[in-house]
RNA sequence: GGCCCCAUCGUCUAGCGGUAAGGAUCCCAGGUUUUCAUCCUGGUUACAGGAGUUCGAAUCUCCUUGGGGUCACCA
């Protein structure tokens, strides 16, 4: 049985680093037919966990992740934590520390002055006397005084840390509210988590949590610490380069399968394979193949994946997705032709939408840079002649448009560029884009004629 | 600074003592395409440095260097 969890603190939104660890945990649970739980780490009561919850749920829903059962809120489990603190206290494994904040600060300053690592000196560890007046005590755990704390990390291998590095840390604040490392250990144990997959930044918390596990006789889960995602410069990811709300990827025209595929390959691999469907990820994922080193966020690769998934999406799906980008082709009988002509030219849904608009909306201006080349020389005469032919023949399908174009070139004894370039600019306003026959078919004879006429008028006005 | 982690093309990575160090992305060139894109073909670019161990090291050990994480009554 595998039970994994995702345990975000409510900081507002879910970013890709969080989504990746959530994905890894989710995949591992799914692969093993296990359970994936969600726990909100909201012991800091000043943060609004409702908003965070909604943001996470939105993101989960968009990418298709879901958790089992109800979400756990640590803020609702204080009674439970208190019972374990009491137990530790009565068993003599934890103790009240009456040191004031001022005293603690003083101690730290002295230690720093001596170039020592600031750490609690254990002065109340075996305190038997009368506690000082007016100090609301914190509860500290009795950490081992010597030896070392070791565990086998699922990705890093054996980790050894000297016990002297772990001091008698606070497990309950003076108000009685338990601290992070304590509740994480309690919850992971009580929730039956078998695999803790989390960011590298938690590596140093692990020995502390192990102290709790040991004090309470809980069995250790497997820990897998995933290295961080850096930005393209190899520095810490910031909002500017990817650490944005996952939902912004949706707004920016990314498909969830592209984002998931991108993330799963960041730090994890299965040989040379690059493209993974969610089903494949589930069947192939194993934390033991997670890379030890940090990886860098690479937008080019994400865009490439996104383009791949756009190209391979069904028309129905794209039509649905495009609705968020102000394009509704659901009632357009030529929708499939429109998508065929555009989807290979788009890296994002935004680009796809603009490609479509480029065809569907008559140009309001012509690209300055190509006017001279496309509209110079005999362009005007050729376009007029083409319009006449068009009206005479009135092609009705792509093949007919194609033939008409070919015949026109042959009969007028001109190179294709002579008609192709001005026609393209007349229709789209620019030199690049879908095939002319496709565009003309999509627009229909009359619209094509209209756009050509506009172009002719424009040329005359030059 | 102490402690811990990490180190293969610019980037994502394969490699797990014997390989011409492979793939993907990016970039470049060619082909297909009436343009652009797609697609296809080809190309440039990497084992951070130094000592060991070994017949043989990208792979094992150590050191150096360089990155990162962490040192709270935050999570």
CB atoms within 10 A of CB A303: 16
**SS (HEC) of A118-174:** CCCCCCCCCCCCCCCCCCCCEEEECCCCCCEEEEEECCCEEEEEEHHHCCCCEEECC
pLDDT grade for A43, boundaries at 50, 70 and 90: confident
Instruction: Share the mean pLDDT of chain A.
Output: 94
Rounded to whole angstroms, the Cα distance separating A390 from A387 reads 5
Average pLDDT in the A58-65 region?
Answer: 96
CA of A143 to C1' of B51 (A): 40
CA of A424 to C1' of B13 (A): 42
Tell how strand A222-226 and strand A229-230 pair up: unpaired
Q: How far is CA A31 from CA A194, A274, A317, in A?
A: 14, 19, 27
pLDDT grade for A98, boundaries at 50, 70 and 90: very high
Report which of A210, A238, A236, A237 is spatially closest to residue A223, judged by C-alpha positions.
A210
A351-376 confidence digits (pLDDT tens): 999 999 999 999 999 999 899 989 98
Average pLDDT in the A437-447 region?
Answer: 97
Rounded to whole angstroms, the Cα distance separating A154 from A191 reads 20
Which residue's CA is nearest to the C1' of nucleotide B26? Answer: A300
Beta carbons of A247 and A206 less than 8 angstroms apart:
no
Which residue's CA is nearest to the C1' of nucleotide B23? Answer: A272
pLDDT of A346 above 90 = yes
pLDDT grade for A239, boundaries at 50, 70 and 90: confident
Which residue's CA is nearest to the C1' of nucleotide B8? Answer: A293
ipTM of the complex: 0.96
Give the closest nucleotide to A296 (alpha carbon vs C1'): B11
Give the closest nucleotide to A294 (alpha carbon vs C1'): B6
A373-396 confidence digits (pLDDT tens): 899 889 999 999 999 999 999 999
CA of A179 to C1' of B75 (A): 9
Residues of A designated catalytic: 239
CB atoms within 10 A of CB A82: 14
pTM: 0.95
Nucleotides, chain B, CB distance < 7 Å: 1-8, 10-15, 22-26, 33-39, 67-75
CA of A169 to C1' of B71 (A): 12
């Amino acid at each position: 049985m595998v039970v994994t969890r995702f345990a975000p603190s409510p900081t507002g939104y879910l970013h890709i680093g969080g989504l990746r660890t959530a994905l890894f945990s989710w995949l591992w649970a799914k692969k093993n037919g296990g359970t994936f739980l969600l726990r909100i780490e909201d012991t800091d009561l000043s943060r609004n966990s409702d908003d965070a919850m909604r943001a996470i749920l939105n993101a989960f829903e968009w990418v298709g992740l879901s958790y089992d059962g109800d979400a756990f809120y640590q803020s609702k489990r204080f009674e439970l934590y208190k019972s374990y603190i009491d137990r530790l206290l009565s068993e003599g494994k934890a103790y009240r520390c009456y040191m004031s904040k001022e005293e603690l600060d003083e101690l730290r300053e002295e230690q720093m002055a001596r170039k020592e690592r600031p750490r609690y000196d254990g002065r109340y560890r075996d305190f038997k006397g009368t506690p000082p007046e007016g100090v609301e005590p914190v509860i500290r755990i009795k950490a081992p005084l010597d030896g070392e704390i070791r565990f086998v990390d699922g990705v890093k291998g054996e980790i050894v840390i000297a016990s002297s590095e772990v001091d008698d840390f606070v497990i309950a604040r003076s108000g009685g509210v338990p601290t992070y490392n304590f509740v994480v250990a309690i919850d992971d144990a009580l929730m039956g988590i078998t695999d803790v997959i989390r960011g590298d930044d938690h590596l140093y918390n692990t020995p502390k949590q192990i102290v709790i596990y040991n004090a309470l006789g809980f069995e250790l889960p497997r820990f897998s610490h995933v290295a961080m995602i850096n930005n393209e410069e190899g520095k810490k990811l910031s909002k500017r380069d990817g650490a944005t709300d996952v939902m912004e990827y949706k707004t920016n025209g990314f498909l969830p399968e592209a984002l998931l595929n991108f993330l799963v390959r960041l730090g994890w691999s299965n040989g040379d394979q690059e493209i993974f469907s969610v089903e494949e990820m589930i069947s192939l994922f194993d934390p033991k193949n997670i890379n030890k080193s940090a990886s860098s966020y690479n937008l080019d690769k994400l865009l490439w994946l996104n383009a791949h998934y756009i190209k391979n999406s069904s028309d129905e799906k794209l039509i649905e997705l495009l609705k968020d980008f102000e394009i509704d082709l659901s009632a357009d009988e030529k929708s499939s032709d429109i998508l065929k002509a555009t989807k290979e030219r788009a890296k994002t849904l935004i680009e796809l939408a603009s490609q479509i608009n480029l065809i569907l909306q008559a140009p309001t201006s012509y690209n300055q840079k190509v006017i001279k080349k496309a509209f110079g020389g005999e362009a005007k005469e050729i376009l007029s002649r083409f319009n006449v032919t068009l009206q005479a023949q009135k092609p009705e399908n792509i093949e007919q448009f194609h033939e008409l174009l070919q015949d026109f070139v042959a009969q007028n004894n001109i190179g294709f560029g002579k008609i192709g370039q001005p026609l393209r600019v007349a229709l789209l306003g620019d030199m690049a884009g879908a095939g002319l026959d496709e565009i003309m078919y999509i627009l229909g004879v009359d619209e094509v004629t209209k756009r050509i006429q506009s172009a002719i008028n424009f040329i005359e006005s030059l």
